[in-house]
Each structure stands twice: as structure tokens, then as C-alpha cells.
Structure 1
Amino acid sequence: MRKTGPLLAAALAALVGLTGLTPAQAAGPDPATIEWAACAPPAENFECGTLTVPVDWKNPAGPTVELFLSRQRATDPAARIGSLLVNPGGPGLSGATFATFDFFSPEVRRRFDIVGFDVRGTAKSNQVLCSGDLVAQYPDTFIKNQAELDHWRDFSTRMRADCKSRTGPVFEHLDSISVAHDMDAVRAALGEEKVSYYGISYGTVIGQAYAERFPRRIRAMALDSVVDHSAGRERYFRDTAAHAQGAFDAFVKWCAGEPRCALHGKDVRAIWTRLKDRAERGELGRMTKSQVLRIIFNGSYAPAWYSAAEQIARLDASAPQAQAPLRAPGDFHLPWQLFCADFDMRIRDYREYTRQLRHAKADAPDMEFNPSTLTVNSWCLSEPRPIPYPQRRLRAPGAPPILVVNSRNDPITGHAWAASVARQLGKAGRLLTYEGTGHTVYDRSDCTISTIDRYLIELKPPAYRASCPAVPLEPPAEALKPNDFLLQDLTDRLTPRH
């Protein structure tokens, strides 16, 4: 069995801003083609290129944006099926870098060219840039009163204007429907009649947008760790809190049965409550309550529960700490605008905000809320109407079987979301459940690899509601992983680590 699954989060953290993937020569001017060339070191064994597409697909004669791509050629050209387009999620992680990873099984790499492109507004495809000085003023996303909400609304308005001025016309066209059109342009430029696609986390929103717009151009589509784009604002808030609570409950159960857990034999829930209270009193230095909650989010991603338990134990035994300042020199890449273009998360006032918190806490008494949801709730406050790709049920008439994959306990994209998307797809939806904890399923076990590979290669999906057993978690503990889909709080990224 390949053991790379729990290590994926660390690799994903390096995707955005990687400088080694630069075309050795400029792509040709024809927007319908990709001029491939060897990538710059250290990725010279792969091919890189660019594809020019319209900023606004409704105005193809208007401004354009260059998409950056990479390709890992099939290792057996005689057995090659075609191209497999991939996206690692985020939003904002580099698909071009992900395509160069040794992530897929040897059989998939033998049969497919692995192709990734940086989604518009990210990495090397006209990434969203914002003032570091302004970003350093980022308020706490846990809003405590109407005045703080008003301050956040003003701050998000200023941030939006600043980021738009630094990013250019593409800033207003970052929605996943636009990305789906980009993906179809990549398909055509590759000479593929139909798309084979594998997307993780936020990459599943792109997949859903493509299935909605181009259902008959799909050869195979595997959606791994699924975001439910039909979840309205209030359901989104409650669902993401419930996902976090499920991961926390699984962590507590694991620790009770694992003597090597640093909290074994202790009242984990009482310790957890004490840490949250200390954070609210400012006794944990730079760590806010939201950042305490991220210990479980990040720890449940791999999962890296040995490390999570050790961090909780250290914090519980620590003395009060001083608050460190935020620092963000120069321009700062913030991909959150992609989310604002796909989800209407705006709230009217503090009364609505507290109602959402109250309902979320009812579903998640220990986790209370999802800190990433608070981040996007705040960041998207000033998003103007209409939202380019607002929440709606997925309809993909004429689509072939689409494989929907999820862990039973995923801290951010819960199993209920995957089941919902599979239902929305009707007969085309095939749900595969990994009966364990973690975010990203593909290489969790021999069962998950072989099931997904068989679908991608042979177009043979599993039976409805198929499952793969969980793989036991074993030490040595992996370090806590920064994960995708907005899990890394801005203050985590800006504050020096000690």
C-alpha cells in the first residue's frame, strides 16, 4: 500500500507560489493551442505551457488571462488513454504543481498524461494580490458585537477594492463557472473529445460547475472530499460546524482507546473547554479561539492525532503568553475571492450572525463553529450582488457515472455533503465512503486506490454506496498539517512561528 496519503497536506502547502514551474519558452499566441516546453529547474522533467482565455467568457473579444499549465506524460505511450486533468483544491492551490507530484498510482501514470492548470486568480495564472500592509490589519474573525461587524464590513470593502486594483480585470471573473469554461478550453487545446478529471476539496466545486455546464463532455470525473455547492448560507454554517464536531468526537474516542495519546486517561472535553476559555481571555498569546479550534481541523486532516494531542497537552500546561504582532510585507496572495464568487455568505447584521453561531453550537457543542466559515463569512461581507455562481442544486443531465468520494469523518467537507452531491446527480452519482478520518481519500488504502483507479481507467464505477475500511492510525506521529479549503487562518500565516 502506498503511504503518501497522510503526507499530501504538507505537499499541498507548498503549491501556491512555487517558483520552479516556469515555461522555458513563451507559449504561442494562438489561444486554441498550448505550446509545451520543458519546465524550468527543478521541474525540467515535466512540460509547462500557457493557454490564453477570455477574462469574461461572455465577451470573448475582451481582455484575456493566461492560464499556466504543466503536464506529466504517460509513462507508457502505447497504453495511453488520454489526459487526466487534476485540481488539488484550496481554493488557490496550484494545479500545475500538483500535476508534477508522484501522487497517483503507477498504473494511472502509465495510462494518462497528468495535466494541471493554475486556476485563474491563483499561483501563475494572474493570482489575486492584496496590500500586505492592509492585510496585516486583519481583524479577528470571531465577531463579538455589531460594532465589530461594522468594522469587518468596512475592512472587507477596503480589502476588496485594494485587491481588485492590484489584480486587474480577472478579479471580477473568478467564479467556478468561468473556471469550467477554462477547463473546457484546456480540454480542446489538448485535443481531447471528453474530459477525465480528478478534483480534491474545492476542486470538486470546479468539477460540479463543469458537470453542470458540459455534462456530455465528461469521460470520467472523480470528486474527492466533496464541497456541496447547494448549501445555502445558514446550512453551510451549521454543516461545517457539524463536520468539525464529528472529527472531534472521533478524536476523543481514539484517544480514549490509545494509550500512546498524550491525553489518554484524561477528560479531553474538559481540557478542550479550558483551552477555548483561556484563548478568549487572551492567555494563549497570538492564539485566538478560532486558532485553538484549528488544532483539531489540522490534526484531523491527515489525521495527525498524536501530534494534535501533544499540542493540546502543551497548551494546557503553558503559562499565559504575550501577543505577537502581525506582519505582511509587500503584496500578499489571497485566493478567498474565488470562494466569494461561488458562495453567497453575506449576513445582514449581528443578530443574524449570533443566530448562526447559536445554531452551529447546538450541532457542535465542543467545536462550536468552523473557523474557516467565519473567515469567509467575514471576507465576503462586501461582495456585491449578484454572486456570479451562487449556491444551487447540481443538475447534469446526460452526464455519465460520476464518482463521489469522501471520508466518514472529514473535518471540513463532511460525509453528508458527499452524500448530498451524489443524490443531486441521481443515477449518475456513485458514492464511495472511506470509513475513517481525513481529508483527501484517493491514496488512503489499497481499496481506495484500486476502486478509483478502476473507474478512471476502465470506466467501471463501484456499486452504489460502496465503502472501503479505515486504515488504523499508527505512530510515529506526523506534524500538524496546514490544509486546504481555507483552513489556514490568515493570522497563522502572518504571525512568526516560535
Structure 2
Amino acid sequence: MDVRRVVAVVAAVVVMAAVPAVASASSLTWQPCATQQEPAAECATVDVPIDRARPELGSARLALARLPALDPGRRIGSLLVNPGGPGGSGVGFVQFGGLASPDLARLRQRFDVVGFDPRGDWSSTPRITCGPGLWDPALNRFPSSRPEFDALVAHNRAAGEDCLARTGPLLANADTQSAAEDIETIRAALGEPKISWLGLSYGTELGAVYASKHPDRVRTMVLDGAVDHARPLRRAILEEAAATEDTLVRFADWCRGSAECTLHGRDVLRFYDDVVTRAAHGAVWASDLGRPATADEISAGVYNHLYIRDEWPALGKALAAAGGEFPDAKGLTERNQFLSPLYGAYRAIGCHDFPSPFTGPADMGITAGLLRALAPHSWRYSEFWDFTSGCTGWPVPPKNPPQPHPVHGAPPILVVGGAHDPATPLAWARGLAASIDGAALLTRTDDGHTGLFNSACARAAEVDYLVSGVTPGRGAVCRWSGE
């Protein structure tokens, strides 16, 4: 893959980056919203149409937070950040230290860092609202018969209709295509001719869609923990499940051999399987839930700890507690989002972008069987199975199902993928980079989801690129320190 544009284009980007930006003619009214982590934070709102084709449906109000550039004389422009999700809070990311790492200090110096809460999420209004029945721990998400499949469909349909009644027309317009146009509204309100973008996980899909629609409005763009939205869903389900299994096995190998792990010296995979089996029989208590944890909840709790390599010692401790003489799975289940009021937004956006591909129990069972074969330990939870099983029967038609979002005419874009990322496989990063003219791919060989949260090497490369506009060279790799 060609990782750069012609020298003349790269040189133009470098010149553009080196010239201090003129103060932007923003139409936003910023008010102080300091936090202990970010005392200089400012907040504002911007209105966007709920449905740009049907203005009679009214508008939504997006919440924004900004950290003004610390070196205004060398300010490059605005850097918009999206921490993932679907439904992650860019406002919270900005206000509560998401860019506080010393490795990212140059971003704070040179950019106004702007986070926003996407339509329907967090502090944006109206907010996607669903009832407590959205997550039913007794529901079988791997149905093996027609009655079980019909029960899953009926539950999801009723839950979606409840969300629609509580939320209104925004629920039918909570897709990534609509959110990408919201970014363009934000850019115009900021008064910026171009924006820089730092997108993590789902934020890579959102950023790529924006770049495909508005390539001339992109200055630089980092897509870290890449989602390839062109991938067929059945394939994506299996690829992600295999990636989750790979990371679980790597955690187990580390835990067995490391004195940092509470389960040091144990057969960790066997221990994990035993905890999950006991949970499937209602024998693992979770004090935060006030009831036994399900096998799915145990598996999801482990998955959420695999995201950050530095949290693996905490995962060993939490897994040991769940399998102890007096088990308590709180350390695992408290990390799950199933009972959060924000789970509705996650599900609603997910069903627009990753709708169920299943036509019946036999079809679903074939994919489930392949998933078990690829992920014999971790098969009970992966995000794409959560999306697609939860969207089977969802009553709101999807507005952005899997499809290519090719990017033509944008400056060079940096895609970052991990060889051992539990959530977004490296194949997705390769696929996304291939769909973007002139994209550069930076490969990580360490563990965890996204380079920003797990790799000092990746952070340095992302900062260098966002400031200079110059991508790393062909075949760039951030190697794990253990190699």
C-alpha cells in the first residue's frame, strides 16, 4: 500500500502545519466548566437537525467541551476527539483528563482540543432513553431452537419499541452518517476551514465516514483501534471473537508466569472456564448486582479488563475473587455497561451500524458454532455478538448498515492497528487503510485496545503526525518491549 501522497502534497501539509492559525471566527459561546483535572475547560452547545431530510422533526443540541491551546501564538487549529463507544463522551474525555498524559502535551500546546457528546448521548439532548428491560440476564443470546430464537426477537422488539417511545424520532436518526454531518456542523460553528481528528475505536468509523463525505475539511486524522465498516457482519463477528480469544490466552500466559498476578502458577484458562461454568449454574455471586452473575456477565467483565494492558493485574485479582471459596464477581461485573442508562445509546447506534444479519435460528446457530470454535474460552461475550444478537428483532430500520466508506481527496490519514487488540483486529485496520487514498498504517505488536491507551510509541507517532501532518513511513511498527 502507498502510505504517502506525492512529495508536493506532503510538503504543502507541512507548510500549513507550521504557520500559526488565525483566530477562528467561531459562532459558539464558550462558558467556563472547569474540573479538577482540567481547570481551563470551557463548554458550549450547538444545534443540529434531528433529520436533515425532515426539518419538521426539530433539532438536537450537542454538548461540547474545549481546552484552549496553551501556546496560542503557535496554535494550529482545532483537534476534535472521539473516545469511541458507540456513545462515548468526548466532553467527559476532554474535561476529565483524557489527554493528560505527558506524552500528549504537544497536542495541548498546539491545538484547541474539542470534545463533543454525539447525538443522543450523555449531555446532548434529547438523550436516547431506554427502560431497564433492555438487558435481561435470563435471556439466551445463543438460541438453539425456534422458540428460543423467537423469544430473543420478541424481547429485542419490545425493548426497541420502549426506547422509541421514550426517546422519540432521534432514535431513528442516531446513525453514524447523521453523526458525521454533525461534525461538519461543529466545524462550521468553530469557524475552522479544516479540522484535525483523533478517533479511537468507534471514533475511527465516525472519522472515516466524515472524511469520506468532507475530505477537503480534513487537515490530519488519526484512526486508532480501527473499525472497518465495509466488512460483512458474519465475518466481523468471527474476526473479533478470535481477537478476543487471542488476548485472553495471552493474559492467561502472562498471569500464570508473573508474580504480579494473583493467579500466578495456576492454569488460568481452566480457572476462567470453571468460573464461567459455575456462573452458568448460578453459583457465582456479584455483590454489586445483588444476585448471581450470569456467564455472559462474567465473560464481558473479563473482556472489559483486557482493553488496557496495565489493568491485567487487576483482572487477575478480580478473576481470583470470582472463583474463590466465597465468590464475588463484583470486580468483573461492575465494569460492564449492561445496566447503565447509556447502554440504550450503545445499542441504538449499534443497531443502525451493525444490524443483525441473522434470518432464523439455523442461520444464527451456524455463526454461533463457528464463534465457539474460534473462541473456545471467551465465546460468551464479544461486542459484535452483543450488537447483532441484541439487534435481532430491533424495530428501528438501520440507516447505516455495513458498507464501504472510501476516502478520496483527503490529506494523508494515519490508521493505527494492534496485532493483539481484543476489540478491533489488525485485519480491520488493514482493511480501513486500504479504503483511504494515501493512508499510512502503523502496526502495534503489544496488547490492549488502541495505541493511545497502551503504547508510548504509538502515542509519540500520533502526536508527531497530528502536529506536522507527516505520516510515519511505509511498514511502521511499534514493537512490544518484550520482543
Query: Normalization by structure 2: what TM-score?
Result: 0.83
Instruction: Determine which of 460, 477, 482 is the counterpart of 1:467.
Output: 477
What residue in structure 1 maps to residue 444 of structure 2? Answer: 434
What residue in structure 2 maps to residue 223 of structure 1? Answer: 223
Residues 388-446 of structure 1: CA deviation (Å, up to 9, x unaligned): 11101231111221111123211111222112211222x42211122211113125344
5+ residue gaps, structure 2: 1-25, 286-291
What residue in structure 2 maps to residue 273 of structure 1? Answer: 273
From the superposition, tell whether residues 203 and 349 of structure 1 become closer, same or farther in structure 2 (CA, over 3 Å).
same
2:370 matched to 1:359?
A: yes
CA drift at 1:384: 4.8
What residue in structure 1 maps to residue 354 of structure 2? Answer: 343
What residue in structure 2 maps to residue 118 of structure 1? Answer: 117
What residue in structure 2 maps to residue 159 of structure 1? Answer: 159
What is the SS of the residue equivalent to 2:419?
A: strand
Determine if contact 1:280/1:289 at 8 Å carries over to the other structure.
Answer: yes
What residue in structure 2 maps to residue 36 of structure 1? Answer: 30
Distance in 2 separating the partners of 1:455 and 1:415:
20
2:46 matched to 1:51?
A: yes
What is the SS of the residue equivalent to 1:99?
A: helix
2:284 matched to 1:284?
A: yes
CA drift at 1:241: 0.7
What residue in structure 2 maps to residue 210 of structure 1? Answer: 210
What residue in structure 2 maps to residue 90 of structure 1? Answer: 85
Worse-matched range after superposition: 66-75 or 394-403: 394-403
What residue in structure 1 maps to residue 9 of structure 2? Answer: none
Distance in 1 separating the partners of 2:105 and 2:459:
11
1:124-135 matched pairs, under 5 angstroms: 124-125=123-124, 126-132=126-132, 134-135=133-134
Distance in 1 separating the partners of 2:448 and 2:252:
15
CA drift at 1:356: 0.9
Determine if contact 1:86/1:198 at 8 Å carries over to the other structure.
Answer: yes
2:458 matched to 1:448?
A: yes
What residue in structure 2 maps to residue 308 of structure 1? Answer: 315
CA drift at 1:223: 0.8
5+ residue gaps, structure 1: 1-31, 474-498
Distance in 2 separating the partners of 1:461 and 1:266:
44
CA drift at 1:198: 0.5
From the superposition, tell whether residues 198 and 378 of structure 1 become closer, same or farther in structure 2 (CA, over 3 Å).
same
What is the SS of the residue equivalent to 2:130?
A: strand
From the superposition, tell whether residues 259 and 321 of structure 1 become closer, same or farther in structure 2 (CA, over 3 Å).
closer
CA drift at 1:56: 0.9
Distance in 2 separating the partners of 1:138 and 1:337:
19
Worse-matched range after superposition: 238-247 or 249-258: 249-258
What is the SS of the residue equivalent to 1:338?
A: helix
Distance in 1 separating the partners of 2:323 and 2:164:
42
What residue in structure 1 maps to residue 289 of structure 2? Answer: none
Amino acid corresponding to residue 116 of structure 2 in structure 1: F
CA drift at 1:457: 0.5
Worse-matched range after superposition: 334-343 or 307-316: 307-316
From the superposition, tell whether residues 141 and 457 of structure 1 become closer, same or farther in structure 2 (CA, over 3 Å).
farther
Identity %: 33
Amino acid corresponding to residue 358 of structure 1 in structure 2: G
What is the SS of the residue equivalent to 2:353?
A: coil
From the superposition, tell whether residues 287 and 392 of structure 1 become closer, same or farther in structure 2 (CA, over 3 Å).
same
Residues 5-47 of structure 1: CA deviation (Å, up to 9, x unaligned): xxxxxxxxxxxxxxxxxxxxxxxxxxx9322222276676321
Distance in 1 separating the partners of 2:57 and 2:245:
47
What residue in structure 2 maps to residue 19 of structure 1? Answer: none
Residues 325-380 of structure 1: CA deviation (Å, up to 9, x unaligned): xxx99977621101111112242222122111111122222222534333222321
Moved beyond 6 Å, runs of 4+:
40-44, 320-324, 328-332
Distance in 1 separating the partners of 2:76 and 2:328:
57
Amino acid corresponding to residue 233 of structure 2 in structure 1: R
Distance in 2 separating the partners of 1:71 and 1:214:
22
Amino acid corresponding to residue 290 of structure 1 in structure 2: D
Amino acid corresponding to residue 114 of structure 1 in structure 2: V
Distance in 1 separating the partners of 2:329 and 2:450:
36
What residue in structure 1 maps to residue 142 of structure 2? Answer: 143
CA drift at 1:180: 0.6
Instruction: Determine which of 60, 68, 72 is the counterpart of 1:65.
Output: 60
Distance in 2 separating the partners of 1:362 and 1:322:
26
What residue in structure 2 maps to residue 414 of structure 1? Answer: 425
Distance in 2 separating the partners of 1:443 and 1:331:
25
Distance in 2 separating the partners of 1:235 and 1:47:
43
Cα RMSD, aligned residues only:
2.7
Distance in 2 separating the partners of 1:41 and 1:454:
28
Q: Larger helix proportion, structure 1 or 2? A: 2
CA drift at 1:296: 3.3
Worse-matched range after superposition: 347-356 or 134-143: 134-143
What residue in structure 2 maps to residue 373 of structure 1? Answer: 384
1:474-489 matched pairs, under 5 angstroms: none
Determine if contact 2:35/2:95 at 8 Å carries over to the other structure.
Answer: no
What residue in structure 2 maps to residue 458 of structure 1? Answer: 468
What residue in structure 1 maps to residue 240 of structure 2? Answer: 240
Worse-matched range after superposition: 76-85 or 62-71: 62-71
What residue in structure 2 maps to residue 390 of structure 1? Answer: 401
Amino acid corresponding to residue 246 of structure 2 in structure 1: G
From the superposition, tell whether residues 233 and 130 of structure 1 become closer, same or farther in structure 2 (CA, over 3 Å).
same
Residues 242-266 of structure 1: CA deviation (Å, up to 9, x unaligned): 1111101211232343234333333
CA drift at 1:113: 0.2
What is the SS of the residue equivalent to 1:129?
A: coil
Distance in 2 separating the partners of 1:423 and 1:53:
32
What residue in structure 2 maps to residue 477 of structure 1? Answer: none
Determine if contact 1:56/1:173 at 8 Å carries over to the other structure.
Answer: yes
Distance in 1 separating the partners of 2:205 and 2:73:
33
What is the SS of the residue equivalent to 1:69?
A: strand
Worse-matched range after superposition: 104-113 or 373-382: 373-382
Distance in 2 separating the partners of 1:93 and 1:51:
18
Worse-matched range after superposition: 185-194 or 54-63: 54-63
What residue in structure 2 maps to residue 102 of structure 1? Answer: 97
1:13-32 matched pairs, under 5 angstroms: none
CA drift at 1:461: 0.5
Determine if contact 2:172/2:396 at 8 Å carries over to the other structure.
Answer: no
